Structure 1
Amino acid sequence: MSIPGVLYACHFYIRHFTEGIPQHHCRIQNQTSAESLFSRDGRHGDLLRVSIPMDKAGKPEMCLRFTEPQWQLLNANVTEEARLATEDCLDGWVYDKSVFLSTIVTEWDLVCGQKLLKSTALIMLSAGQLAGSLVFGILSDRFGRRTILMCTTLMVTITGTCAAFVPTFAAYAILRFLTAAALIGANITKNCLTLEWTPIERRVLVNASNVYAYSLGQILLAAWAYLVRDWRWLQFSTSVSYGIIFLFSMALPESARWLISHNKLHMAVKTLQKVAWINGQKEEGRKLTPDGIMSHIQEDLETVKSTSHFRDLFQTPGICKISLCIVSLWFTTGFSVYGILLDFQKFGITIYLVQVLFAIIDLPVKLLVSISMSYLGRRFTLIFLEIFSGFVIIIDIFVPQDMTVLRMILAVLGKGSLAGALSCLLLYTLELYPTEIRQMGMSVGNTAMITGNLFSSIFHITGHYIPILPSVVSAMVPILSAIAASFLFETNGLQLLETIQETENRVKRPQSQKGNVSEDVQEQPTLLLAEMTQAEDSV
């Protein structure tokens, strides 16, 4: 299941390249060529100088041009101090193609007076993620992991491919909404299905392979976008390749845990026997029978709801506490990590290198996080990362602006620790919720993170008026969220639970890890019967 993570990262971060804003200036009057004059050498440089006013940095203004050529500016003794007559870019713009051959910005001239339309594309993307997190999470708990995974991956392939050929920006924005909704739905469903087929001792290893797949996808995308610099071909190639996941999902078995929790015992037995046969455990698979399973789980099935609802996340005291803490953690982590990513834009590194650096930064952090989760536990690891990232941002506030290298190092540390917190949350959230509402709980967490991203982008507008305020809030938010993490119980070494009632019982017990493990082993002849566990261990 690592291949979907690679392609998910490619599709998720593609907007940095398909929606990039290249340098641009007004098209010069009577200019017949679309070639930019950014080189400013020889005759081209003179023509640019007399036709386009310069900003304070000595670069051509992006949204203004002189009403008529100012030939006197070629005289070295003449400056542009006098207020010369200017006008808007009545004949359109010319774009620098040294970084991007084309983007949606150059396609539909989303600059100057139309630049807010580009923000619309980002809003539609975030709105799609919010909708997909909620809708597909509920549908997955109701109709099954495999079914929703197939639907969402097919939807990503179709809508993403169509977005590469649309003639208007409005159609592009609508398709991006649908693609984002399906993309986040496919990702959280894939993560849930993977966890439910993974035995306890391999959860951290499988989670590490998933999060490393995202980093590998970012590196792959940087090379992909460098070779394919036309936005339509880049959009088309990444979308078509996502069809690989659809073909792959057709061969995947449905979650046996989901089938059992929904009283589909015959299908669960067939699925477990198929998995046992694939893994060379055919004899073990033959021992499984619906009657055998029923004898172990009859009492537990009576507590399983046939249909899950959103209110189940807040209806009982234990689940409600978990949900409130999870929402707080996902929201605050999303808020702070997005704020740090906004600060990276000031370092002036080529976008392809930035993409690679972001991925490389995550590699050692995620390795350390995986080790820490295995030996120190999920809760301790998460609390440490949240507090550490908060203090790193606080230190950055007091570093002078001209110390660029130190500020970049601090930004890298902050971003890395928050990325580690997200990888920890990815596993921790799935382990905390029972099977009957696990996908819904993960969806709420993803929704909270996306909401945090939106609030962060809006809140950073206040930086124009109070420069220090966004940094202070971004620093305090993760530190406060660590308090929420302290109210959660440790899941390291514990079996996954199937029902809300089982989770309520676990929440009420003393929260020492050893006590939890010993009691959990004793109570576990519930839905995780011995025969099923043997088949899962062979996966």
Structure 2
Amino acid sequence: MHQPTKPTNPIEKYFSVINLYHYYFFFILFLSKVPVFWHFLSLIFLSPPMDFYCNNTLLIAANESHKNFCPCEDPWWDKSLFTETVQTKFDLYCDKKWIVSFTQSVLYTGTLIGSIFFGILSDKYGRRFACTAAVALLAISGCSLSLMPNITSFIIMRCIEGISAGGYIVAGFVFVVEHCGPNNREIVSALYHVPFNLGHISLAGVSYLLRNCDHFQIAISIPVAVFVTIRCLTMESPKWLMDQGQTEKAAVVMEKISKFNRKPHGSFKEEIEEYTAKRSVRSGHMHFIEIFKHRRLLLNLCCMSAIYFVCGIGFYGVSQYIGQMSRDIHKNIAISGILLVPASISAIFLLKILCRRTLLMITTFLSGVFMITVVFIPAHLTLLRVIFACICDCFFFMAFITAFLFGVELFPTSVRSSALGFLSLMSRFGQIVAPPLNSLPEFVTGLTFGILAICGAALCYPLPETKNIDLPSSLEDTKTLNKKNTLGDLEKPMDGQSTDIDKPDTSKKT
């Protein structure tokens, strides 16, 4: 019996080897993420906990009974650590104190909108265009934030800042993944999250040097403006161009990349045209809404949405607990960022060794187990509780890294950014829900985080395996994925050879 083989994707084949252009491209995209992530964490230093005393007298200030006393008409702020914050600038105290946390919720709401909007924009107009537009909007909104005259305009600009930051993360990740071959996708995906750790750590240093909220905001926004040059320094994703039917442009980009690598490859146009001609289905006209019409894609989207929600609520919820280890806010943030570095490094090796579904199931399950363990450790064993909470947070972060890559690999090119945007939206919902959960009794909070994580591990089972498989270009590609794929099947040679997942339902006699 002879089974027809699946045509070899020339772009995936060429990108299976990391070349000079990859290092150049990844360096630019990775470096740009550091200042972008600063904006996600900036409110920690824009509005840190601030004490105030009433009636503007140091004599009364010495009396602790007047500390943070409400109602208060004429507060005297303790500016020993920060000279100006959002609270002192807009008089947010007593009955207006809730606005501080509301501004953070507004940022997350903006990221919800941005993830979807820029995901759709990326699928329609290209990855490079979406990245450029997002980073330009972030630079403008970030700098403008320090100029807002009142809290209402500040909140509106904060939402726009969230839209652009959330949009860039989604568009940038898809842009990076589409420049990877199946054999190096997991390494690059894990490394893509390292700038988050660097941003986490370095932001504490920026705030330590600049204690005025306006100066701090401008300082983290100006570096973002530099990366508007992404449009000039990079080329459009050739995979997106090919799957959109722009084969000539895709061939031109590939030829420029091979020339940059000093490895001329003159047959890209013919190879791409031959590949697209053999495709039974064109994927360029599929829209995000069509996901809901196909059972396989809908199942993938529903399971991954729940997992993203669990990762969002778990990682950010547990991080808030770790942030209370000491009173030094700069040290807290730096330590919490450093703790995640081992998780990022471990994810690189584990993604290479284990299947996507297996690793995601293990990390979410263990994060739940460690969180539940924290709940039952006696309260007086504070150090042990913190250690277990840190381990739990690391597993949640590793689950995040795995889910980010897994989610991209489950959907075809034409809806990949849109799907990732929707999944990121679910993650943001988790982030929004985490703070209220942390306000509940500690036992209830920890038990909720733990049970949700274990439920997330169970939802990994229905998902198909995608390790060492070309990124799906069409609906037909996603239908060939099935949860029975094994690591042994997936490690068979890919260049021109078929695997079980490539075999159609019908066979032909020789």
The 2-side partners of 1:518 and 1:156 are apart by: 44
SS in 2 for 1:25: strand
- Flag the 1:353–1:253 CA change in 2: closer, same or farther, 3 A: same
Which of residues 38, 49, 54 in structure 2 aligns to 1:21?
49
> What displacement does 1:20 show?
1.4
- Paired position in structure 2 for 1:81: none
- Flag the 1:236–1:433 CA change in 2: closer, same or farther, 3 A: same
Which of residues 308, 329, 332 in structure 2 aligns to 1:351?
329
Which of residues 50, 61, 72 in structure 2 aligns to 1:48?
61
Corresponding letter in the other structure for 1:257:
K
- Paired position in structure 1 for 2:366: 388
Whether 1:90 aligns to 2:64 is no
Amino-acid identity (%): 21
Which of residues 104, 122, 125 in structure 2 aligns to 1:122?
104
The 2-side partners of 1:98 and 1:216 are apart by: 27
- Paired position in structure 2 for 1:151: 133
Q: How many residues align?
A: 471
Corresponding letter in the other structure for 2:198:
L
For the Cα contact (< 8 Å) 2:310–2:452, is it kept in 1? Answer: yes
SS in 1 for 2:193: helix
SS in 1 for 2:76: strand
> What displacement does 1:292 show?
4.2
SS in 2 for 1:105: helix
- Paired position in structure 2 for 1:257: 239
> What displacement does 1:336 show?
1.5
| Alignment TM-score, normalising by the size of structure 1 | 0.83
> What displacement does 1:399 show?
1.7
The 1-side partners of 2:61 and 2:480 are apart by: 74
For the Cα contact (< 8 Å) 2:287–2:414, is it kept in 1? Answer: no
What are the superposed Cα offsets for residues 126-162 of structure 1, whole Å, 9 maximum, x if unpaired? 1101111111111111111011111111000011111
- Paired position in structure 1 for 2:480: 505
Whether 1:324 aligns to 2:324 is no
Which of residues 387, 397, 402 in structure 2 aligns to 1:419?
397
- Paired position in structure 1 for 2:249: 267
What are the superposed Cα offsets for residues 497-525 of structure 1, whole Å, 9 maximum, x if unpaired? 21111111223x73222224549655789
- Paired position in structure 2 for 1:300: 279
Structure 1: 4+ residue segments shifted above 3 A? 458-461, 516-525
- Paired position in structure 2 for 1:110: 92
> What displacement does 1:299 show?
4.2
- Paired position in structure 2 for 1:204: 186
The 2-side partners of 1:149 and 1:250 are apart by: 12
The 2-side partners of 1:27 and 1:341 are apart by: 37
> What displacement does 1:312 show?
2.4
The 1-side partners of 2:111 and 2:48 are apart by: 20
The 2-side partners of 1:411 and 1:294 are apart by: 53
Whether 1:475 aligns to 2:450 is yes
SS in 2 for 1:458: helix
For the Cα contact (< 8 Å) 2:35–2:220, is it kept in 1? Answer: yes
For the Cα contact (< 8 Å) 1:21–1:103, is it kept in 2? Answer: no
RCO higher in 1 or 2 (8 Å CA, sep ≥ 6)? 2
SS in 2 for 1:20: coil
Matches for 1:132-143 after TM superposition, within 5 Å: 132-143=114-125
Whether 1:313 aligns to 2:291 is yes
Corresponding letter in the other structure for 2:405:
L
- Paired position in structure 2 for 1:73: none
SS in 2 for 1:162: helix
Unaligned runs of 5+ in 1: 32-36, 38-43, 55-59, 65-87, 526-539
- Paired position in structure 1 for 2:415: 437
The 2-side partners of 1:344 and 1:515 are apart by: 41
The 2-side partners of 1:455 and 1:401 are apart by: 25
Corresponding letter in the other structure for 1:388:
L
The 1-side partners of 2:150 and 2:283 are apart by: 48
Corresponding letter in the other structure for 1:400:
P
Which of residues 266, 269, 288 in structure 1 aligns to 2:268?
288
